[in-house]
Structures are given as C-alpha cells and as structure tokens.
Amino acid sequence: MLGSLLTELETLEALDRCHEVRAVVLRMARLASHGRLEAFVDAVGADSKLDERTRRWVLDLARHEPFLLATAEYASLQSASAGD
C-alpha cells in the first residue's frame, strides 16, 4: 500500500515539473469534472492532425478519470500551499 502511494506521489510530482503535460492533464480533469470528457475524447479520436502516439496517449489517459481528478486536486493543494 505504501509503495503504491509513493509511486502515485512521484507521478504527481513529475507532472508538476512538466508544464505541457500538466496543462493537458488539468484540462482533461476540468472536462471530466464537468461531464464533458467524452466529447473531448470523441474530438481527439476524430482529429486527423494528431499523430497516433499523441492520440493513443490522450485516449489512454482519458480512461483514468480518477487519476485526472486526483491530479487536479493535487495541483490545487500545491497552489494553495505555494500561496502561504
């Protein structure tokens, strides 16, 4: 259990350092929290301008909605603590 938690925290810390990925994940989290992630997934699936690797990454990430929401919560907590 503790090992799994540490791995998840390390993943969140890594996302915090990669601004581009963090922006995508947080946008997807916002869409998920408002029930609009499915429409985004449909748009990504239909976008012929995206390369296949990016498309697969986004679609795979969309299947992990709890992770997206946890990442948004973590980012919110990090922002709040930075403002202290």
User: Is residue 73 included in any domain, yes or no?
Assistant: yes
Asked if 25 and 61 count as a contact pair (C-beta separation under 8 A), the reply is yes
Quote the pLDDT of residue 40. 94
User: Is residue 46 included in any domain, yes or no?
Assistant: yes
As a whole number of angstroms, the distance between CA 26 and CA 29 comes to 5
Q: What is the pTM of this model?
A: 0.76
Taking only the tens place, the pLDDT of each residue in 58-76 is: 999 999 999 899 888 988 8
Taking only the tens place, the pLDDT of each residue in 30-64 is: 999 999 999 999 999 999 999 999 999 999 999 99
User: What is the span of the domain harbouring residue 71?
Assistant: 16-82
Asked if 30 and 72 count as a contact pair (C-beta separation under 8 A), the reply is yes
Instruction: Report the number of distinct structural domains present in the chain.
Output: 1
Asked if 37 and 31 count as a contact pair (C-beta separation under 8 A), the reply is yes
User: Is residue 10 included in any domain, yes or no?
Assistant: no
> Taking 80 as the threshold, does the pLDDT of residue 10 lie above it?
no
Reported as half-sphere exposure (CB side, CA atoms, 13 A), residue 59 has a value of: 13
User: Is residue 9 included in any domain, yes or no?
Assistant: no
More confident residue, 80 or 70: 70
